[in-house]
Structure 1
Amino acid sequence: MSLLTLSEWLRCPICFQDLSPRPPLALACPSGHAFDVNKRGYVSLAASVGKLRYDTAAMLDARDAFLATGAYAALREALASALAERSPRRIVDVGCGTGYYLDGVLSRLPSAAALAMDLSPVAVTRAVRRSERIDGLVANVWSPLPIRDGAADAVLNVFAPRNPSEFHRLLSDDGVLAVVIPGDDHLQELRDRDLLIDVQPGKGQQLVESLGTGFVVDDVRDIRSTLSLTGTAIESLVGMGPSAHHRPAGQPEIPDSCDVTASFRLFLLRRQGV
């Protein structure tokens, strides 16, 4: 982790001026606002998050275990391939989780640098450990982001909250926004067993409408497969996402095994002036 490379992504969350290194482990703006940089390789610029939920260590452990099975490798490869076609030099992953998808993208872009952002400090810690090319930021996507105007050529947003106006601001001219959402029948077999919360229908249309006039759809790619999951993998899958926040007492039993539909939609949207 370099204070200089980290600072080059960021602006002050208070006055919005650019941040600069203040050795040994701080960033500061010209107005004198200063922020400590964690020895684990990230800076926290999150304002009060109130009752907002974010990924816990247990959820991230479950996600690491599930993704290690390769069950979502096809999605990771599709995302990496799509971004490699556009050759971005600077990438921001908003809602980075463990950094699994960002790491896959960087494997196809050996000269690119990245900023992994999440509200969960544990998630950002894991993401920055994947590569020396990944800087880390703890921030709240619902607030004005402490990222400089035009700082990124690409923004990744994989199963994560979105802030369209801020994405537009931090992207360079003609930058690309890559958004992954679940398909309508994603993991339907587990939803039928009441093991997961439902997917809201029509998410694709809602996504496009929510982004407004600042983005135009360049491409939409569907990634589908059937996963043969063990009970252990299903337990990790249930525990790694939003359903982990809603698990009721007496939840239905995890089956010993199950064939499950994996269905994703990858939207590639180009930034345009408004």
Structure 2
Amino acid sequence: MPSDRLLSVLTCPHCPAGFEHIRGALRCANRHTFDIARHGYVSLLTGHRRAPSADSADMVRCRASFLGAGHYDPLARTLAELAGELAAPDATVLDAGAGTGHYLAAVLDALPRALGLGLDSSVPALRAAARAHARAAAAGWDVWQPWPVRTGCAGLVLNVFAPRNGPEFARVLTPDGALLVVTPTARHLRELHGPVGLLAVDPRKEERLRRALETHFRVESTEPLEYTMRLTAEDITGLAGMSPTARHLPAAQLRARAERLRTPVPVTASFAVSVHRPLRTGQ
């Protein structure tokens, strides 16, 4: 864990106590102990709390390669710009479903004294997230469950292509904090749906987002972001491999379909970036 301030954000998943750092582990006052992995993250998942699904090592490898090539850099820049407007320079930033920590790192670069905590259930993703930024830490957790995080500790919560736990988003934010959500639109990657077999965006996704958050948040703004990427067969294979499509089609089949395309292929990246504020009593 990179700092005592971040350590104070976490709470024991077995009891409400905080942690102290003792000989390569986190231990609470009731002596519940969680080892810090040699890669730098701590997993707080135990027993029945284990997440039912998580990104595989291959999916994480594909994601790191695709993001490292810069294809989603406009999205990372948009998040960084919004974070600079929404959060104090020394805020605590929580990333729910952080993956490799790519977007959390971009946001921390925009907030010079902020500290970040990424929550994810994938061990390969946590290994990457733990070293994504000098001011970030990573903890293994299923974000659908109540979080092992103190109430009102975060100035900003990120939720980028990840599960939306509205009650926990609201609980961990300060009263003047903000939730920053990214969802793909129906136009996202549309050129690859037929030729490659990428799964299309659920047409009810926006409705589900609204239902997940409306009890606890008001929408402050929604900003569209759309641009064209030019992707090689290797890019397309990686993009498919990091997406839910990889759970339905074998890697060899995805690769063969990508290699049949005349590349580079113009592909639409299309997102909705929305800012949400916690509802106050009476709103």
Give TM-score scaled by structure 1 length. Answer: 0.93
Q: How many pairs align?
A: 273
Distance of 1:107 and 1:7 partners within structure 2: 20
Separation in structure 2 between the aligned mates of residue 5 and residue 39 of structure 1, nearest angstrom? 21
Residue 51 (structure 1) shift? 7.0
Q: Which aligned pairs between 1:110-149 and structure 2 lie closer than 5 A? A: 110-149=112-151
Partner of 2:271: 264
C-alpha distance in structure 2 between counterparts of 1:58 and 1:247, whole Å: 13
1:200 aligns with 2:206: no
| Paired letter, 1:237 | L
* Match of residue 224, structure 2, among 208, 222, 225: 222
CA distance in structure 2 between the partners assigned to 1:100 and 1:28 by the alignment: 28
Where do residues 1-274 of structure 1 align in structure 2 (5 Å cutoff)? Answer: 1-2=1-2, 4-21=4-21, 23-47=22-46, 48=48, 52-88=52-88, 89-248=91-250, 253-254=257-258, 255-257=261-263, 258-274=265-281
Q: Does structure 2 retain, via aligned residues, the 8 Å contact 1:19–1:28? A: yes
User: In structure 2, what is the Cα distance between the partners aligned to 1:79 and 1:250?
Assistant: 34
Gaps spanning 5+ residues in structure 2: where? none
The answer (yes or no) to whether the contact 1:184–1:202 under 8 Å persists in 2 is no
Distance in 1 (CA, whole Å) between partners of 2:172 and 2:51 is 26
Q: Does the aligned pair in 2 maintain the 1:6–1:136 contact within 8 Å? A: no
Q: Secondary structure at the match of 1:253?
A: helix
Cα offsets for 1:156-207 (capped at 9, x unmatched): 0100111111111111112111110001110011112252112101322321
* Secondary structure of 2:197's aligned partner: coil
**C-alpha separation between the residues in 1 aligned to 2:253 and 2:130?**
37
Letter in 2 for 1:118: D
Q: How much does 1:250 deviate? A: 5.0
AA at the equivalent of 1:271: P
Q: Deviations over 1:58-106 (max 9, x none)?
A: 1111111111221111111111101111234110011111111111111
CA RMSD of aligned residues (A): 1.8
Taking structure 2 as the reference length, the TM-score comes to: 0.90
Task: Answer yes or no: is the 8 Å Cα contact 1:3–1:27 preserved in 2.
Answer: no
1:136 Cα deviation (Å)?
1.2
Question: Cα gap change, 1:256/1:61 in structure 2, threshold over 3 Å: closer, same or farther?
Answer: farther
Check conservation: 2:34, 2:42, Cα contact below 8 A.
Answer: yes
One-letter amino acid of the structure 2 residue matched with residue 44 of structure 1: S
Change (3 A) 1:95 1:113: same
Aligned-pair identity (%): 38
Gaps of 5+ in 1: none
Deviations 1:112-134 (A, max 9, x none): 10001110121122112122200
Q: Which amino acid aligns with 1:229?
A: L
Letter matched to residue 28 of structure 1: R
Q: CA deviation at 1:216?
A: 0.7
Q: Is the 8 A contact 2:6 2:116 kept in 1?
A: no
Q: Deviation at 1:6?
A: 4.0
Distance 1:99 1:26 in 2: 22
